[in-house]
Amino acid sequence: MPRKKTPQKDNFELDFDEASQSGQTKPLSDDDIFALKTDSGHVDEMFSDWFLDYASYVILERAVPHANDGLKPVQRRILHSMRELEDGRYNKVANVIGNTMKYHPHGDASIADAMVQLGQKELLIDMQGNWGNILTGDSAAASRYIEARLSKFALDVVFNPKTTNWLSSYDGRNKEPETLPVKFPLLLAQGAEGIAVGLSCKILPHNFVELLDGCIALLRKKKPELVPDFPSGGIADVSEYNNGRRGGRVKVRARIIARKKNVLAITELPFGKTTTSLIDSIISANEKGKIKIQRVEDNTADLVEILVYLPSGSDPNTVEQALYAFTDCELSVSTNICVIENEKPHFFSAQDLLYLATEKTRDLLQLELEIQLRELEEKWHFSSLEKIFIEKRIYRRIEEEETWEAVIATVDEGLKPYKKIFKRKITKDDLLRLLEIKIKRISKFDTFRADEQINSLEEDIEATQKNLKYLTKYAIKWFADLKKQYGKGRERKTELSSFKKVVAQDVVIANETLYVDKKEGFAGTSMKKDEAVCKCSKLDDVLAINQEGKLIVSKVSDKAFFGKNILLIDIFNRAEANAFTYCMVYRDGRTGPTLAKHFTIGGVTRDKEYDLTKGKPGSRVFYISCYLTENGEPDAVKVNLKPAPRLRKIEEVVRFVDLSVRGRGTGGNIITKNAVRNVVRLPKAERKESV
């Protein structure tokens, strides 16, 4: 027999130096195999540690935005790189990507994708060229063909090197910001989505102007109400938004307008969908028979326009509701606000995130004012020193000094009478700076202009101190000015509305026919030679009750078995399960009494068999019918008995109106213990007389 090539279990082989030279392998000894198995525990620990490191890296450095500036690391590095290249002109995106690679330790493709997505938000990047289309889903041109520069809004709001904490880049050659000093709730304005290891983030975009109004409201100790606003417009129901917390969701709809008689126009898209994906869902629903349309035209250019042509005689309102039910014209978007704060992921509500951004902006404004105050005081300090140094001719006293130390001492001595007017101590650096003033500047010194400059500095210092004292008022003015300058053209695009979920069974087109073979117990849409029951759709459920008293609910199919001798079959609507009441007469077992029950079906599980009798073998249903509970009339039946000795009464009349309506599990009321020949429904006229 040929030798098996597959090694036995635990038969490890390694290539040794001498074996590799000869092209052969040497098997491990038993001791080596034992050592490898012993070390496997250490390998498990190593993999566990590495996996945790990898998961932490993906969460902190790739997928989840930071609470301070609302940016992911790749977005932050792109903006920092663009600020480095900023000269007022457009830069090739390829050049920006190349410069960003100094900071981002990943491929150029990931940077290009992130930059295109950032640009399509139309907030931080001023674009030139084909940057794609969020409405149609068209991708951007290659990075060598498109150009970009920072928007004026980004230059005003995002950057300030004086208030930025700097870190070394991944290779230690450059400095990059830990987070950018963004003075705006950027994360809520742009939205974000990311999937990490065991963690996901989905933040819906909000309206620019409403966010600024919300910041002002928070500073005024009021509680703002935040709801999403999508760039594609559409209609949104935010009743379940839950302030953006985990578990919240927003129902979004396309805007559909009836044009002419048999034409529907989709003019706005639901969030997250493109014209291509929306049309695909409409065509798919039409092919499955859920909706009925003639054709779809896509006339989208700057604005969305998808024309849906309907067959003659169609009801536009019904088709519109069917589009919401069976296509992507209506979607449910979940929200999960997860951000990085203090080097850990945290879950917030939209209002919490707005509060963090507002407080962060307030702190940054305070820091900027403090830096500005120090700079103004330094300018005032040296301007005053310079004025005294020149006006009092202190510079002339150094002409007779022979050493540098004596020169410094002489200047210090000359300023001594005036030191009390200064707000801080005069240092040696101040003296050295005075001695660096050129003679030409001294000769052209204008006292009047110097006084004006000092007075202007004093006014600026006073104004800055006032802003620091009333910091909240200053922050409110900052947000109001931002709204005035950049809020035009950023009005709400998504209309807020309240709408109920469309029930599919209510709008589906009943373009199938249900057939039944009652004797053999089969029913379906493909049995065209058998008895027709009613019109139906592929979404409907079929309810059938057979002679043994078995009730089965199953989805409409080509052919299904419901039990032999079907007595009752119809379409079953779960939402209206209690809208019908049933009247039934049955025998309990082969020789048991005959009972009558008046009941409703209630909730059922699809494809599960239910006993409407007591479940004894040989039970038989003599009669069953149903009527509308609200305005229907219960049946009355005549139970004819088989002749028997000493049997005087050979019939019983059952009026179901006299029986209480109960659930399907009830046994019913005993009518007779004698053998039954048949059960006959009384005509309407006789039914009234019997009553």
- Tell me the CATH number at 478: 1.10.268.10
Co-location of 72 and 175 in the same domain: yes
- Rg of the chain (C-alpha set): 42
User: 18 pLDDT exceeds 60?
Assistant: no
* Residues β-bridged to residue 571: 542
Answer whether residue 59 is part of any domain. no
Co-location of 395 and 520 in the same domain: no
Q: Which amino acid is at 444?
A: K
User: 15 pLDDT exceeds 60?
Assistant: no
For the segment 305-322, the average pLDDT, to the nearest whole number, is 90
Give the pairing of strands 594-600 and 662-663.
Answer: parallel
pTM: 0.76
For the segment 601-609, the average pLDDT, to the nearest whole number, is 90
Co-location of 522 and 460 in the same domain: no
CB-count exposure of residue 160 (10 Å: 0-12, 13-18, 19+): middle
Co-location of 523 and 471 in the same domain: no
Q: Range with the lowest mean pLDDT among 21-30, 315-324, 445-454, 541-550?
A: 21-30
Confidence of residue 301 (pLDDT cuts 50, 70, 90): confident
Q: How many residues does the chain have?
A: 691
Count of domains observed in the chain: 3
Cβ-contact 573, 565 below 8 angstroms: no
Q: What's residue 2's pLDDT?
A: 41
| Residue range 34-62, pLDDT digits in tens | 555 555 556 666 666 676 777 776 777 77
Answer whether residue 261 is part of any domain. no
Q: What angle do CA 196, 117, 250 make, to 5 degrees?
A: 65
Give dist(CA 325, CA 322) in Å, integer.
Answer: 5
State the CB neighbour count (10 A cutoff) for residue 676. 20
Co-location of 420 and 545 in the same domain: no
Answer whether residue 97 is part of any domain. yes
Q: What's residue 56's pLDDT?
A: 74
Q: Range with the lowest mean pLDDT among 15-19, 226-230, 284-288, 681-685?
A: 15-19
Under DSSP, the state recorded for 45 is H
Residues 6 or more apart in contact with residue 660 via CB below 8 angstroms: 598
Co-location of 534 and 583 in the same domain: yes
Nearest to 242 by CA among 139, 337, 124, 142: 337
CB-count exposure of residue 156 (10 Å: 0-12, 13-18, 19+): middle
Q: Mind giving me the DSSP string for 396-454?
A: GGGGG--SHHHHHHHHHHHHGGGGGGSSSPPPHHHHHHHHT--HHHHHT--HHHHHHHH
Cβ-contact 180, 163 below 8 angstroms: no
Which residue is listed with tokens 């910091």?
471
Q: What's residue 148's pLDDT?
A: 96
Q: Show the domain range for 78.
A: 64-182
Answer whether residue 473 is part of any domain. yes
Domain edge (last residue) among 139, 162, 182: 182
Cβ-contact 340, 66 below 8 angstroms: yes
The CATH number of residue 151's host domain is 3.90.199.10
Q: Range with the lowest mean pLDDT among 6-20, 186-200, 661-675?
A: 6-20
Which residue is listed with tokens 């989840």?
64
CB-count exposure of residue 41 (10 Å: 0-12, 13-18, 19+): exposed
Answer whether residue 645 is part of any domain. yes
Cβ-contact 324, 497 below 8 angstroms: no
CB-count exposure of residue 67 (10 Å: 0-12, 13-18, 19+): buried
Cβ-contact 621, 612 below 8 angstroms: yes
Answer whether residue 41 is part of any domain. no
Give the pairing of strands 522-524 and 651-655.
Answer: unpaired
Q: Mind giving me the DSSP string for 478-522?
A: HHHHHHHHH-TT----SEE---PPPPHHHHS---EEEEEETTTTE
* Residues β-bridged to residue 331: 252
Domain edge (last residue) among 131, 159, 182: 182
CB-count exposure of residue 453 (10 Å: 0-12, 13-18, 19+): middle
Give dist(CA 634, CA 318) in Å, integer.
Answer: 34
Give dist(CA 335, CA 226) in Å, integer.
Answer: 13
SS3 labels along 25-36: CEECCHHHHHHH
Answer whether residue 29 is part of any domain. no
Give dist(CA 549, CA 612) in Å, integer.
Answer: 5
| Residue range 479-513, pLDDT digits in tens | 999 999 999 999 999 999 988 777 666 677 777 88
The single residue of 57, 145, 170, 470 carrying the catalytic annotation is 145
Nearest to 355 by CA among 219, 202, 191, 204: 219
Residues 6 or more apart in contact with residue 226 via CB below 8 angstroms: 188, 206, 210, 211, 214, 243, 244, 350, 351, 354
Token duo for residue 322: 């069917």
Co-location of 542 and 654 in the same domain: yes
- Average pLDDT of the chain? 87
Helix axes 73-85, 108-120, angle to 10 degrees: 80
Q: Which amino acid is at 298?
A: D
Answer whether residue 96 is part of any domain. yes
Co-location of 91 and 132 in the same domain: yes
Confidence of residue 23 (pLDDT cuts 50, 70, 90): very low
Co-location of 642 and 523 in the same domain: yes
CA torsion 322-327-330-331 (nearest 10°) is: 140
Nearest to 623 by CA among 584, 652, 590, 651: 584
User: 655 pLDDT exceeds 60?
Assistant: yes
* Residues β-bridged to residue 128: 147
Q: Mind giving me the DSSP string for 97-165?
A: HHHHTTT--S-HHHHHHHHHHHHHTSSSEEEES----TTT-PPPPPTTT-EEEE-HHHHHHT--GGG--
Co-location of 538 and 685 in the same domain: yes
Q: What's residue 58's pLDDT?
A: 75
| Residue range 133-153, pLDDT digits in tens | 999 989 999 999 999 999 999
| Residue range 568-599, pLDDT digits in tens | 999 888 878 788 999 999 999 998 999 999 99
145 included as an active-site residue: yes
Which residue is listed with tokens 């409407």?
612
For the segment 220-235, the average pLDDT, to the nearest whole number, is 93
User: 106 pLDDT exceeds 60?
Assistant: yes
User: 252 pLDDT exceeds 50?
Assistant: yes
97 or 247, which is more confident? 97
Give dist(CA 114, CA 482) in Å, integer.
Answer: 26
Q: Range with the lowest mean pLDDT among 26-35, 321-330, 453-462?
A: 26-35
| Residue range 70-100, pLDDT digits in tens | 999 999 999 999 999 999 999 999 999 999 9
User: 439 pLDDT exceeds 90?
Assistant: no
Confidence of residue 685 (pLDDT cuts 50, 70, 90): low
Q: What's residue 86's pLDDT?
A: 94
The per-residue b/e assignment along 497-528, b for 16 or more CB within 10 angstroms, e otherwise, is eeeeebebbebbbbebebbbbbeebbbbbebe
User: 345 pLDDT exceeds 80?
Assistant: yes
Co-location of 563 and 671 in the same domain: yes
| Residue range 541-564, pLDDT digits in tens | 899 999 999 999 999 889 999 999
Which residue is listed with tokens 């907030």?
123
290 or 83, which is more confident? 83
Containing 586, the helix (H) or strand (E) segment is strand 580-587
Q: Which amino acid is at 223?
A: K
Q: What's residue 144's pLDDT?
A: 94
CA torsion 148-151-155-157 (nearest 10°) is: -130
State the CB neighbour count (10 A cutoff) for residue 308. 26
Give dist(CA 335, CA 345) in Å, integer.
Answer: 16
User: 628 pLDDT exceeds 50?
Assistant: yes
Q: What's residue 11's pLDDT?
A: 38
Co-location of 461 and 524 in the same domain: no
Q: Range with the lowest mean pLDDT among 34-48, 245-259, 600-614, 667-681?
A: 34-48
Q: What's residue 19's pLDDT?
A: 41
Residues 6 or more apart in contact with residue 314 via CB below 8 angstroms: 262, 292
Q: What's residue 260's pLDDT?
A: 82
User: 200 pLDDT exceeds 80?
Assistant: yes
